[in-house]
């Protein structure tokens, strides 16, 4: 049994438990987790069905956080599996609006990153850059080092795509500095490759 199949089994048990207890909030989380695992397994009809159920429950119960998470994962599915970044952007924008409404700074930052990634996929590098710079600003405010590495990498990639190699190098080097500070070996390896590609 693969990693995703094992996760799916666990999430399905959790879903059944939350249904037995009548806990709507937990049901939303469980449906999102089951849906996301189906997404990663490439079973998109089943993923969509679980995401839609989660969204329905979230709307019925007024759970805005639940809705926000569904929108993010539906966006991921459209961007990564369905190769439709334009539709993904619509979901990410809905998630962003809810994050702002709820004052959830972490999720707001994540939505900026997702929007940047989707615009990058569409070849809209200037717009991608605007979104990921907002993501970086929020990561700095919160002091989240892992997210700062991700943001600097995304900014570096956008500058590289725009042919601004000095700015790309500068952001990759900033990402490397933080990766070394936090002893994140995996990120260090990835950033080393990105820097080598600029030479």
136 within 8 A of 148, measured Cβ to Cβ: yes
Query: Is 4 among the domain residues?
Result: no
Query: Is 173 among the domain residues?
Result: yes
Give pLDDT tens digits for 53-107: 999 999 999 999 999 999 999 999 999 999 999 999 999 999 999 999 999 999 9
Alpha carbons within 13 A on the beta-carbon side of 116: 24
Q: How far apart are CA 12 and CA 63, in angstroms?
A: 21
Report the pLDDT value the prediction gives residue 199, as an integer from 0 to 100.
84
Give pLDDT tens digits for 141-162: 999 999 999 999 999 999 999 9
Query: Is 182 among the domain residues?
Result: yes
Report the pLDDT value the prediction gives residue 1, as an integer from 0 to 100.
57
Residue in 112, 109, 172 with CA at minimum distance from that of residue 140? 109
Q: What's the pLDDT band for 46 if we cut at 50, 70, 90?
A: very high
Q: What percent of the chain has pLDDT over 70?
A: 99
- Cβ-Cβ contacts under 8 Å for 78 (sequence gap 6 or more): 84, 85, 87, 88, 91
Query: Is 129 among the domain residues?
Result: no
Where in the sequence is the domain holding 177, given as residue range(s)?
Answer: 144-199
Query: Is 66 among the domain residues?
Result: no
Query: Is 139 among the domain residues?
Result: no
Query: Is 191 among the domain residues?
Result: yes
* Contacts of 25-29 spanning 24+ positions with Cβ under 8 A: 25/61, 25/63, 25/66, 27/54, 27/57, 28/54, 28/57, 28/58, 28/61, 28/63, 28/66, 28/69, 28/70, 29/66, 29/69
Report the pLDDT value the prediction gives residue 20, as an integer from 0 to 100.
96
Query: Is 152 among the domain residues?
Result: yes
The domain total for the chain is 1
């Amino acid at each position: 049994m693969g990693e995703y199949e094992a996760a799916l089994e666990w999430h399905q048990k959790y879903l059944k438990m939350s249904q037995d207890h009548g806990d709507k909030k937990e049901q939303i989380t469980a449906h999102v987790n089951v849906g996301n695992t189906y997404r990663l397994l490439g079973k998109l009809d089943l993923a969509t069905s679980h995401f839609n159920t989660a969204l329905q429950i979230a709307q019925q119960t007024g759970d805005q956080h639940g809705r926000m998470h569904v929108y993010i994962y539906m966006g991921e599915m459209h961007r990564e599996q369905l190769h439709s970044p334009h539709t993904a952007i619509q979901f990410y924008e809905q998630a962003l609006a809810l994050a702002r409404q709820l004052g959830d700074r972490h999720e707001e930052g994540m939505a900026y990153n997702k929007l940047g990634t989707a615009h990058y996929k569409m070849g809209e590098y200037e717009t991608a850059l605007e979104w990921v710079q907002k993501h970086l600003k929020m990561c700095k405010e919160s002091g989240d080092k892992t997210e700062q590495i991700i943001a600097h990498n995304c900014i570096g990639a956008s500058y590289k795509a725009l042919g601004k190699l000095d700015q790309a190098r500068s952001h990759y080097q900033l990402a490397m500095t933080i990766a070394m500070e936090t002893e994140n070996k995996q990120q260090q390896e990835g950033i080393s490759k990105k820097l080598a590609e600029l030479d």
